[in-house]
Amino acid sequence: MEAPAILVRDLVKRFPNQAHNVLENVSFSVAAGECVALLGPSGCGKTTLLRLLMGIEAPTSGTLVVEESLRSRLAYVFQEPRLVPWRTTLENVLLPFELTGSLTAETRELAVARLRELGLGERLAHFPRELSGGMQMRVALARALVTRPRVLLLDEPFAALDERTRFRLEDLLLELRAEYDLQYVFVTHSIAEAVYLGDRVLLLNNQGRLHADERVSLPPRDQDLKLQPEFNRYVRALSQSFHALEVTA
C-alpha cells in the first residue's frame, strides 16, 4: 500500500499557560492526492492542527509525519490574504523566491503566468489596497501556488468573502487541484464548503478530539451540485453530527 501523504498519531497540543489541551489524541491519515476538510466549532483546534501540519507550531506530544517527497512542497494560505502592503501584486507573489534566494527570470515568468491564470494579469503593478478582497485572496493563492506545492494548507481562506466570490474561488481551487496534481487540507466553518471541496471531512469537537471522519463520494463538483439531494444528504448528516457536538458541549 502506498504510504500516506500525512500521518497523524495521538497528536496532542497544549499552549503554555493553558489549562487544557487544544488538541487531544488526534489520529488520522491522509492518502496521497486526497483532499480533506477540517470542520468543527470555533476554538476546537482546527487552525492549530493546520499550523502543526505546516510546522508553524510544534506538537506537545504524538506523531506527525508528512511523506518525505512532500515535506518541502507544502504551502500555506492564511485566513486573511496577508499581503505586504508596500509590494505590488507581482512583488507579493515573488516574495517566496526573494526570501529563499531563488528569484530568477524563470521564476518571475512563472509568477506572472500564475497571476494571469488567476485573472490578475491586469493588476500586476497594483498595491493590495487597490484590490478587492477577492482579488487579494487570489494574490495570496498565487503566492502559495508559485512555489509549486504538492500540498496546499488553507485556513478558512474564503471566510471573509461575499458568497459569489467565495463560490468562484471554491471552483478555482477545484480547477487548480485538477491542473497541478495538488491536494489540499483546509479549515472551514461552512459544512457545505467542506462537502463541496473535500474528499473527506474531519469533524473536531470542543475538546479537540476527532469526532467524525466522513468520506464524501460525489460526482465531479460544480455549483449546481449543491442543489442535488445527494449533496444535501452529506450536508444534513454532518449538520446533525455538528449539532450533536454543540448539544454535548
Partner 1 sequence: MKLRERLPAWIFLFVLLVVWELSVSRGLVPDYLLPAPSGIWATAVELRAELWVATLSTFSSILWGLIASAVIGVTAAVCFFVVPILRRAILPFCVFFQTVPIIAIAPLLVIWFGFGETTVRASAFIVSVFPILANTLTGLEETDPLLRELFRLYRPSRLKTILKLQLPSAIPYVLAGLRIAVGLATIGAIVGEFIAGGGLGALIDSALTQQRTDLVFGGVLASTLLALVLVIGIDLLSRLLMGRRPYMRSSSR
Rule CB under 8 A: which residues touch partner 1? 54, 56, 76, 78, 80-86, 95-96, 98-100, 127-129, 136, 160
Separation of first and last alpha carbons in the chain: 39
Q: How far is the CB of 178 from partner 1 (least distance, A)?
A: 25
Q: Which three cell numbers stand for residue 229?
A: 439531494
Q: Which is nearer to partner 1, 144 or 201 (CB)?
A: 144
Are the C-beta atoms of residues 200 and 217 closer than 8 Å to each other? no
- Give kind and range of the element (H or E) at residue 99: helix 89-100
Query: Which of 111/191 has CB closer to partner 1?
Result: 111
CB of 76 to partner 1, least distance (A): 6
When the beta carbons of 65 and 160 are compared against partner 1, the nearer one is 160
Nearer to partner 1, 3 or 55 (CB): 55
Smallest gap from residue 141 Cβ to partner 1 (A): 14
Closest CA to 182 of 65, 83, 36: 36
Query: In this complex, which beta carbon is closest to partner 1, that of residue 85 or of residue 229?
Result: 85
Select 136 or 183, whichever has its Cβ closest to partner 1.
136
Least CB distance to partner 1 at residue 156 (A): 12
Report the distance separating Cα 197 and Cα 189, nearest Å: 13
Closest approach, Cβ 247 to partner 1, in A, equals 34
Q: Are 188 and 232 in contact (CB under 8 A)?
A: no
Beta-strand runs (E) in 108-171: 151-155
21-35: burial string, b at 16+ Cβ within 10 Å, e else: bbbbebebebeeebb
53: helix, coil or strand?
helix
Tell me how far, at minimum, the Cβ of 15 lies from partner 1, in Å: 15
* Nearest residue to 37 via CA among 214, 185, 145, 247: 185
